[in-house]
């Protein structure tokens, strides 16, 4: 077990006065993760983490290996070898209810154009499919229909025995990048800048087998869709390469709200103010988002933004949360958020409420945030008036976890409203797990809790050996 000294965090690139990056004091008193375990088993980039149960997780990446770990001790439990190229998708695969053996299964897809079912209790390769015409980029399990889907250049429907039930025609050379399940036996597939709605038709007395029908194409995005997820029973959300965030109705597939990243140089701008681009055009991509009952937490370029679903606007942001692009965000308990970036930094944030200052106008657009100068005072007066008594929030940095030496890589696939694979895992009793391009997995531990556990074990050992005498 390593115990790391908390300093002021990673130094910003360039001179401090030139960087708006928020830093944290030396103590980091609100950061509980002060101990770490470095886990080594992979020989290439680690892209996936998936939780198996309350004490185990699996990792996978570009070396084609799946490793099963003990989240409490960091012990390597199993190494699963079967793929010859990098792993491109991974999901948990629950056993059949009728099965006597309730072993934990996972499903992995690879660039070698195979999909394998693994038994994570024994390490056994249960079954393998090798009939794919392209690399499978995403997997989705539809438990209610008891089928699973594979997305590549086409969309395939499979049963638990890995029999192909039906498939679409060739959709795109770029392939399906993400899949989610929505009501009415439908799924949404992200293909380039399009969303395609498919309906699964189960066999009936009058039909011979399964079918999959293309119901609708949604063309509202202007660039490739990078993120797709269910956020509640009413909505799903998409984010694109050019910073578009769209909230969709999950039943009729219409746009509920939309925030776009473009700047219109309107005449309302004060011409005497210098207009500056604070970020490069390619720094506005929505790489990832997570959510809770009220908000969507969005990684945009180097920043973090909190979009409130009810108010349909941004209520908090950190324009420069990291020195480089934020690749992944995840929710922690107690209104906390964790983010990682290309430079390997991992930071913990807390969402706090604050009273909006009357003198500060609130931007009305999602991405009216790149610092294009101040709006005209007269033009902003109505906005200022409306927001004068409004309650907004802030994202406060409470922890800077320094451990990875390279880009923290991620791939995230979503089924229903629960993320099943990602580069962050949170165990209530065992801490955080992160993976990276440095081939490492780091298990971050609550230092105070670990110290108490060590003391307890020491006293128990002394008592067993008869070396502990309690005074009455």
Q: Tell me, yes or no, whether 75 lies in a domain.
A: no
Task: Tell me the per-residue pLDDT of 185-201, one tens digit each, with 9 for 90 and over.
Answer: 999 999 999 999 999 99
- The chain-wide mean pLDDT, for the chain, equals 80
Can you tell me the mean pLDDT for 379-386?
Answer: 45
CB 292 within 8 A of CB 231: no
Integer CA distances (angstroms), 156 to 114, 115, 143, in order: 13, 12, 16
Q: Which two tokens stand for residue 61?
A: 């990446």
Note the pLDDT of residue 418.
38
Given pLDDT bands bounded at 50, 70 and 90, which one contains residue 165? very high
Note the pLDDT of residue 30.
86
Q: Tell me, yes or no, whether 223 lies in a domain.
A: yes
Q: Tell me, yes or no, whether 176 lies in a domain.
A: yes
pTM over the 0.75 mark = yes
Q: Tell me, yes or no, whether 216 lies in a domain.
A: yes
For residue 173, give the CATH number of its domain: 2.130.10.10
Note the pLDDT of residue 453.
79
Question: Domain span at residue 221?
Answer: 138-261
Q: Which two tokens stand for residue 366?
A: 């999602």
Tokens 């998936």, located at residue: 50
Query: What's the CA gap between 208 and 43, in Å, rounded?
Result: 47
Q: Tell me, yes or no, whether 423 lies in a domain.
A: no
Q: Tell me, yes or no, whether 167 lies in a domain.
A: yes
Q: What percent of the chain has pLDDT over 70?
A: 77
Note the pLDDT of residue 463.
77
385 phi and psi angles, rounded to 5 deg: -65, -45
Query: What's the CA gap between 19 and 382, in Å, rounded?
Result: 32
Which of 64-68, 232-236, 327-331, 406-410 comes out lowest in average pLDDT?
406-410
Which of 132-136, 175-179, 209-213, 467-471 comes out lowest in average pLDDT?
467-471
Task: Tell me the per-residue pLDDT of 343-355, one tens digit each, with 9 for 90 and over.
Answer: 888 999 999 988 6
Q: Tell me, yes or no, whether 221 lies in a domain.
A: yes
Of 136 and 263, the one with more pLDDT: 136
Of 7 and 226, the one with more pLDDT: 226
Q: Which two tokens stand for residue 298?
A: 């969005």
Q: How many structural domains compose the chain?
A: 1
Q: Tell me, yes or no, whether 172 lies in a domain.
A: yes
Residue 268 predicted with pLDDT over 50: no
Task: Tell me the per-residue pLDDT of 444-458, one tens digit each, with 9 for 90 and over.
Answer: 998 888 788 788 888
Note the pLDDT of residue 363.
52
Query: What's the CA gap between 472 and 461, in Å, rounded?
Result: 20
Note the pLDDT of residue 409.
53
Task: Tell me the per-residue pLDDT of 129-144, one tens digit each, with 9 for 90 and over.
Answer: 998 989 999 999 998 8
């Amino acid at each position: 077990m390593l115990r790391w000294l908390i300093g002021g965090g990673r130094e910003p690139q360039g001179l401090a006065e030139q960087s708006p990056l928020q830093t944290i004091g030396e103590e980091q008193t609100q950061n509980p993760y002060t101990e770490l375990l470095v886990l080594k088993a992979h020989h290439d980039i680690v892209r996936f983490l998936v939780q198996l149960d309350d004490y185990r997780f699996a990792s996978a990446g570009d070396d084609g290996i799946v490793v099963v770990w003990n989240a409490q001790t960091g012990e390597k439990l199993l190494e699963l070898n079967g793929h010859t190229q990098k792993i491109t998708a991974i999901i948990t695969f629950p056993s059949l209810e009728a099965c006597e053996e309730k072993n934990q299964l996972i499903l992995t897809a690879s660039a070698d154009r195979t999909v394998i079912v693994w038994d994570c209790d024994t390490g056994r390769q249960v079954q393998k499919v090798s009939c794919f015409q392209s690399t499978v980029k995403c997997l989705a399990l539809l438990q209610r229909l008891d089928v699973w889907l594979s997305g590549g250049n086409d969309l395939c429907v499979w049963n638990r025995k890995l029999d192909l039930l039906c498939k679409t025609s060739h959709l795109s050379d770029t392939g399906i990048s993400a899949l989610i399940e929505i009501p009415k036996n439908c799924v949404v597939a992200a293909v380039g800048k399009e969303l395609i709605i498919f309906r699964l038709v189960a066999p009936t007395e009058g039909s011979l087998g399964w079918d999959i029908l293309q119901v609708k194409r949604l063309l509202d995005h202007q660039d490739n869709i990078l993120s797709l997820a269910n956020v509640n029973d009413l909505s799903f959300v998409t984010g694109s390469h050019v910073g578009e965030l769209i909230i969709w109705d999950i039943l009729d597939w219409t746009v509920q709200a939309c925030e776009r990243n473009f700047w219109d140089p309107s005449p309302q701008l004060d011409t005497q103010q210098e207009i500056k681009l604070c970020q490069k055009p390619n720094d506005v991509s929505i790489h990832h988002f997570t959510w809770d009952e009220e908000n969507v937490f969005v990684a945009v370029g180097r920043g973090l933004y909190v979009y409130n679903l009810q108010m349909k606007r941004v209520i908090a942001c950190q324009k420069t949360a990291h020195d480089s692009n934020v690749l992944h965000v995840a929710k922690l308990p107690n209104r906390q958020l964790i983010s990682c970036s290309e430079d390997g930094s991992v930071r913990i944030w807390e969402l706090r409420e604050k009273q909006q200052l009357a003198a500060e106008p609130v931007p009305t657009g999602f991405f009216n945030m790149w610092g294009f100068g101040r709006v005209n005072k007269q033009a902003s007066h109505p906005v200022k008036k409306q927001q004068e008594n409004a309650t907004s929030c802030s994202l406060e940095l409470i922890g800077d976890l320094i451990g990875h030496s390279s880009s923290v890589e991620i791939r995230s696939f979503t089924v229903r409203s629960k993320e099943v694979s990602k580069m962050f895992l949170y165990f209530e009793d065992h801490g955080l797990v992160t993976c990276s391009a440095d081939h490492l997995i780091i298990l971050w531990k609550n230092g105070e809790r670990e110290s108490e556990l060590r003391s307890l074990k020491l006293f128990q050992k002394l008592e067993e050996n008869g070396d502990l005498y309690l005074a009455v």
